[in-house]
Amino acid sequence: MSEEMFDRISDVNFRGTFFTVQRALPLFQNGGAIVLLGSVSSVGGYQDIGVYSAVKAAIHALTRNYVVELSDRGIRVNTLSPGPTATELLEEYPGGPENLPPVPLGRLARPEEIAAAALFLGSAEGSYVTGVELFVDGGLAQI
C-alpha cells in the first residue's frame, strides 16, 4: 500500500468523519442524533483491506467517545456498519466483488436496507439507542 492510498483511505473515512461532526455540532440544539458510517470489516479480518478495517474500527471508537462528550446535550451517537452492499463502490473491493466473504443471508444488502437502519437510528423510534454499532450485514459479523 502506498502512503498516498493510506492517506486517501484515512482522510475520507476518519478525518472526514471527525471534522464533519466537529463542524456540525454548533448546529445542534439540545437533542438530536448523529449516525456515523462504520463497516462490518471493523470486526473481522479480511484480505487486503487492513487499513480500511482499522479506520472503520476507529469510527466506532469516536462514537463511544462522542456518547460521553455529547450526552449532556441529549445528542445520541451511533455507528451504522453495513456489510457488502449492491452499489457501484463494490467494484473497488480488492480482487473484485467475487472475493467478498460469504454473507449468511446469501445476498448483498440493498442500499434502501442500509438507509432504513440509518433512519431508525436517527428517528424518534431510536430515541433510547446510543453508543451502539448496528451491523446491517446479513449476519456476516456474527460468523
Map out the domains of the chain as residue ranges. 3-142
The answer to whether residue 33 scores a pLDDT higher than 90 is yes
Q: DSSP secondary-structure letter at 74?
A: T
CA–CA separation, 56 vs 53, rounded Å? 5
Which among 18, 90, 22 has a CA at the least distance from the CA of 58?
18
| Residue 140: per-residue pLDDT | 94
The answer to whether residue 25 scores a pLDDT higher than 80 is yes
| Residue 96: per-residue pLDDT | 74
The answer to whether residue 94 scores a pLDDT higher than 80 is no
Decide yes or no: CATH 3.40.225.10 for domain 3-142. Answer: no
**Predicted model pTM:** 0.92
Does the annotation count 52 as an active-site position?
yes
Could you say which of 52, 66, 93, 128 is catalytic?
A: 52
Most confidently modeled range among 40-54, 58-72, 97-111: 58-72
Backbone torsions φ then ψ of 34, nearest 5 degrees: -120, 130
| Residue 32: per-residue pLDDT | 95
- For 51, 95, 118, 127, the CA distances from 47, given in Å and listed in that order, are 11, 9, 27, 37
The answer to whether 45 and 53 are in contact (CB under 8 A) is yes
Q: Which helix (H) or strand (E) holds 53?
A: helix 50-70
